[in-house]
Amino acid sequence: MPQAVPRPRLGDDCWILSGPTASGKTALAVSLARRLDAEIVSVDSMAVYRGLDIGTAKPTPSQRQAVRHHLVDVVGPDEPYSVARWLADAADAVEGCRSRSRRVLFVGGTPLYLRALRDGIDPLPGGHPELRRRLEDELAAVGTLPLHDRLATVDAAAAARIHPHDARRIIRALEVAAHGAGPAPGSWRESPAVEPTFAERMMIVDLPRRLLYERIDQRVEEMFSAGLVAEARAVDDAAGIGPTARQAAGYAEALEVAAGRIDEAEAVRLTQRRTRRLAKRQLTWLRSFRSAVWITA
């Protein structure tokens, strides 16, 4: 039987602040949360990973001391973390805020999570461990592209949504399709109306594209200067950086430097390019929130 996916109960005590990477959300969020008497619920798919600090631009210790943050440092870097789990964890965080008579400020630039928060996701079928093991073995042998091609033949809509290198979601979608369990994970429910919280209380930080890219390039340089390669090496040696956490911009590149396959200058260049592409994708997704207020930082 499909498993129900819980989601936060939004209300007039909730606000949302989003925007592309490097747009200045975090500093603005702390100031705004203090004015609202709110706690912050992170909407960042990479901030959940413990030990990955430099490359994920998490709130600083002083910012986290000033305002209580939730869903930061939730799991180890070798663990998977899904949008369904984020919804459940966010629901718990929101109710915890309410138990303390605090408002809620959702902050982050992962539109996948924001859309799930707004629309919910379809119930997920139970897992199929044996099929998953076979798919993982095949993935190790041939890589993601053949599996993504196969997904396109059985669920074209899911293949269109899922990046060809997103191994975890490709495997899950193939698992669901093989058992005729309905839509692939992450399929969105049709919303009969815009969620009022998003219509009235969502803000998106906006910057001119040139300035945004300059800030991205500077941030990446600062990440590597601050020791990103050493952090990536230490975390990978201690626990391993799993395929989901490795999607955080900079970590795959830093590990390539640690292995001696590229130099740091090349890693900086590649990370800057990947982060600019991420920002462009984020902006494309965020434009779907048509009722949001766009603010200039």
Instruction: For the chain, give the secondary structure using H, E and C.
Output: CCECCCCCCCCCCEEEEECCCCCCHHHHHHHHHHHHCEEEEECCCCCCECCCCCCCCCCCHHHHHHCCEECCCCECCCCCCCHHHHHHHHHHHHHHHHHCCCEEEEECCCHHHHHHHHHCECCECCCCHHHHHHHHHHHHHHCHHHHHHHHHHHCHHHHHHCCCCCHHHHHHHHHHHHCCCCCCCCCECCCCCCCHHHHHHEEEEECCHHHHHHHHHHHHHHHHHCCHHHHHHHHHHHCCCCCCHHHCCCHHHHHHHHCCCCCHHHHHHHHHHHHHHHHHHHHHHHCCCCCCEEEEC
* pLDDT for residue 1: 44
Q: Are residue 195 and residue 218 in the same domain, yes or no?
A: no
Look at residue 105 and tell me if it is in a domain: yes
Q: Are residue 91 and residue 238 in the same domain, yes or no?
A: no
Residue 31 — φ and ψ, nearest 5°? -65, -45
Structure tokens at 47: 């901030």
Look at residue 111 and tell me if it is in a domain: yes
Q: Are residue 263 and residue 222 in the same domain, yes or no?
A: yes
Look at residue 42 and tell me if it is in a domain: yes
Q: Are residue 193 and residue 291 in the same domain, yes or no?
A: yes
Section 215-238 average pLDDT = 97
Q: Are residue 108 and residue 133 in the same domain, yes or no?
A: no
Q: Are residue 115 and residue 19 in the same domain, yes or no?
A: yes
Q: Are residue 198 and residue 230 in the same domain, yes or no?
A: no
In terms of average pLDDT, the best of 14-23, 73-82, 279-288 is 14-23
Q: Are residue 84 and residue 226 in the same domain, yes or no?
A: no
Look at residue 6 and tell me if it is in a domain: no
Q: Are residue 112 and residue 202 in the same domain, yes or no?
A: yes
- Evaluate if residue 186 carries a pLDDT over 70: no
* pLDDT for residue 130: 75
**Contact present, 144 and 165 (Cβ < 8 Å):** yes
Section 106-115 average pLDDT = 90
- Evaluate if residue 162 carries a pLDDT over 90: no
Section 170-183 average pLDDT = 72
* pLDDT for residue 223: 97
Q: pLDDT-derived band of residue 112, with 50, 70 and 90 as boundaries?
A: confident
**Contact present, 91 and 27 (Cβ < 8 Å):** no
Q: Which domain holds residue 277?
A: 209-284
Domain count, the chain: 3
Look at residue 112 and tell me if it is in a domain: yes
* pLDDT for residue 178: 79
Contacts of residue 10, Cβ cutoff 8 Å, sequence gap at least 6: 94, 117, 195, 196, 197
Q: Are residue 82 and residue 196 in the same domain, yes or no?
A: yes
Q: Are residue 89 and residue 197 in the same domain, yes or no?
A: yes
Lowest-confidence range among 92-96, 158-162, 246-250, 254-258?
158-162
Section 127-134 average pLDDT = 74
Question: pTM for the full model?
Answer: 0.79
* pLDDT for residue 149: 87
7 residue type, one letter:
R
- Evaluate if residue 190 carries a pLDDT over 60: no
Look at residue 64 and tell me if it is in a domain: yes
